[in-house]
Structure 1
Amino acid sequence: MTAKRRGLTEQAADTAIEGACKALRLPTIRSQFEEIATDAAKTQMTYRGFLAELLLAECDDRARRRSERRIKAAAFPRQKSIREFDFDANPNIDAAVIHTLAKCEWVRKGLPLCLIGDSGTGKSHLLIALGTEAAMAGFRVKYVLATKLVNELVEAADEKQLTKTIARYGRVDLLCIDELGYMELDKQGAELMFQVLTEREEKNSVAIASNESFGGWTKTFTDPRLCTAIVDRLTFGGNIIETGTDSFRLAQTRARNERKDAG
């Protein structure tokens, strides 16, 4: 069946486009139509080419907005990217390995990632940057401090909401746990953390950043058997990135101060 030709004037056509875009929820076509139409006329684009440009613009913008929503839902404390990371300042970190991880195949396979090193060596930067890459690739991501996660689990247990809370953390494709190893957990806190990791085991990825080597995790998880089980869940089949012991953040601060003094 041939579509009815309405014989609209230019002004009427613009009004119709505006109304149709509102009704069909096509905000990008609505905002960019005039610009794309002008370019199409200048380049003598075919009708099919013009239609393709309009639809692709809408699709691209929707993909961008979805990425922004996923990044916002992840609740990262600040923006960090792989591009901004100074690999020259920390030779312990292999840029090729990080760029491979940024492709998110490990998230697709549900594998873990551990970033181990002292403060100022780039652990949190890489954790947030790789989590952001996963969100942009279409995965559901959640960032949380280890202390906040444990406190939330303890409160959920007290309020008889533990199953619901663990299930919520279990649903995301990548759970990023930062600052693991900065505190000692009591038996309840350690067991609750273990439940979250067990819920995700071999299904969805966990990425952690810790200032303690695995041998020092007994300070956080004081039960040796539970500590061993947690280490096993966070390392089996996964990637371990050791960021070293020299704080390049401190080194950069000292260098800036030296330049100020010299000036």
Structure 2
Amino acid sequence: MTTFHRRGLTEEAAEAAIYQACQKLRLPTMRGQFTDLAAQAAREQMSYLGFLAELLMAECDYRARKASDRRIKMANFPRQKSLREFDFDANPHVDPAVIHTLAGCDWVRKHLPLCLIGDSGTGKSHLLIALGTEAAMAGFKVKYILAAKLVNELVEAADEKVLTKAIARYGRVDLLCLDELGYMELDRRGAELLFQVLTEREETSSVAIASNESFSGWTKTFTEPRLCAAIVDRLTYGGNIIETGTDSYRLTQTTRAQAEAAAVASKAAG
């Protein structure tokens, strides 16, 4: 076993001892930055406590970033989307103040639902992923999945007699993001299984959904009226409903990009 002495170390020996200690204690950021921070501390005449605080905060920041990256990866988002990338000017139906309030994740802390309703291309999936990412960065366990895929998983789990385990697995995440709800009709069995997941999470965890159908059109997806009403109730009670409109957000961006490209080409040709 190596014994470290506090006195009589040369600068070179002290650096080697710190490096070795950081390896043993699994402090990679402190190991990589202590020499630079020590030089900075000397230049700024920092106290011993100040230098130690800088080292520890650097390590804590690194671990927080790594934990955030792990939560985002575990959420299984299909692509990266951020609120900074969302063009609010192209979609005037979406209030930026409301979205940025939702980014604070208070609704997740209070276990409230969120519904994003709008036609294809209006940015609802973008917002779903971006807000889910914000929740993961804030420390919440998040899971993203297409509604049809979730139902298929539940049906398979029921057939294999492991439904309880599957429902419990989805019940453990703080925020369940269900995308493309309403794109396909669900039979009664599939709808009932989805309802079980929503019931498991009611008032204990949040659900966020993106749907191309208004609530009045959900009878196309959930063909049994009472079950449809119960699911709508689970997904709306006390929550936030954001309507992204009917004008395609992606089409607007594409049209604008094409117009700008044409203008550049015309200018170059002239």
Q: TM-score range by the shorter chain?
A: over 0.9
Question: What's the counterpart of residue 244 of structure 1?
Answer: 245
Q: What's 1:74 paired with?
A: 75
**Equivalences for 1:201-240 in 2 at 5 Å?**
201-240=202-241
CA shift in 2, pair 1:238/1:193, >3 Å = same
Provide the residue aligned with 1:98 in structure 2: 99
CA deviation string 1:41-83 (max 9, x = no partner):
1111111110110011111111111101111110011111111
Counterpart residue type for residue 245 of structure 2: G
Tell me the amino acid that sits aligned with residue 69 of structure 1: R
Report the counterpart of residue 36 of structure 1 in structure 2: 37
Q: Establish whether residue 112 from structure 1 lines up as the match of residue 136 from structure 2.
A: no
State the match for 2:162 in structure 1: 161
Q: d(CA) in 1 for partners of 2:259 and 2:45?
A: 60
Distance, in Å, in 2 between the alignment partners of 1:256 and 1:5 is 64
Partner of 1:186: 187
Inter-partner Cα distance in structure 2 for 1:102 and 1:261? 37
Amino acid at match of 1:29: M
1:55 alignment partner AA: L
SS at match of 1:87: coil
Structure 2 distance, partners of 1:59, 1:260, is 46
- Asked if residue 27 in structure 1 is aligned to residue 63 in structure 2, the reply is no
Offset from partner CA, 1:60-109 (integer Å, 9 cap, x none): 11111110111111001111111111111111000000000000000000
What is the deviation of 1:252? 1.6
Stretches of structure 2 that go unaligned for 5 or more consecutive residues are 266-270
* 1:200 corresponds to: 201
Show CA shifts across 1:197-253 (max 9, x none): 000001100000000000000111011000000000000000000000000211221
Residue 134 in structure 1 maps to residue 135 in structure 2 = yes
User: Amino acid of the residue matched to residue 101 of structure 1?
Assistant: L
SS in 1 for 2:46: coil
Amino acid of the structure 2 residue aligned with 1:131: G
**For residue 63 of structure 1, what is the aligned residue in structure 2?**
64
Counterpart of 2:186, as a letter, is L
| Secondary structure, aligned partner of 1:83 | helix
* Residue aligned with 1:31, SS: helix
Kindly tell me: are residues 31 and 4 of structure 1, through their superposed partners in 2, closer, same or farther at Cα, counting changes over 3 Å? Answer: closer
Aligned-partner residue type, residue 156 of structure 2: E
2-structure distance, mates of 1:17, 1:221: 63
- Structure 1 equivalent of residue 257 of structure 2: 256
Equivalent position SS for 2:116? strand
Where 1:160 maps in the other structure, the secondary structure is coil
The 2-side partners of 1:22 and 1:33 are apart by 13
After superposition, the C-alpha distances for 1:96-124 in whole angstroms (9 at most, x for unaligned) are 00000000000000000000000111100
Q: Tell me, in whole angstroms, the C-alpha distance in 1 between the residues paired with 2:180 and 2:237.
A: 20
In structure 2, C-alpha distance between the alignment counterparts of 1:111 and 1:69, rounded to whole Å = 24
User: What is the aligned-residue identity percentage?
Assistant: 77
Structure 1 counterpart SS, 2:241: strand
Aligned residue pairs total 261
Separation of aligned partners in 2, 1:72 and 1:200 = 22
TM-score, length-normalised on structure 1? 0.97
SS in 1 for 2:89: helix
Give the CA deviation at 1:4: 5.9
In the TM superposition, what whole-angstrom CA distance separates every residue of 1:125-153 from its partner, at most 9, and x where no partner exists?
10001001101111000000011101111
Q: Deviations over 1:152-203 (max 9, x none)?
A: 1111111111100000000100000000000000111101100000000011
Q: Which segments of 5 or more consecutive residues in structure 1 lack a partner in the other structure? A: none
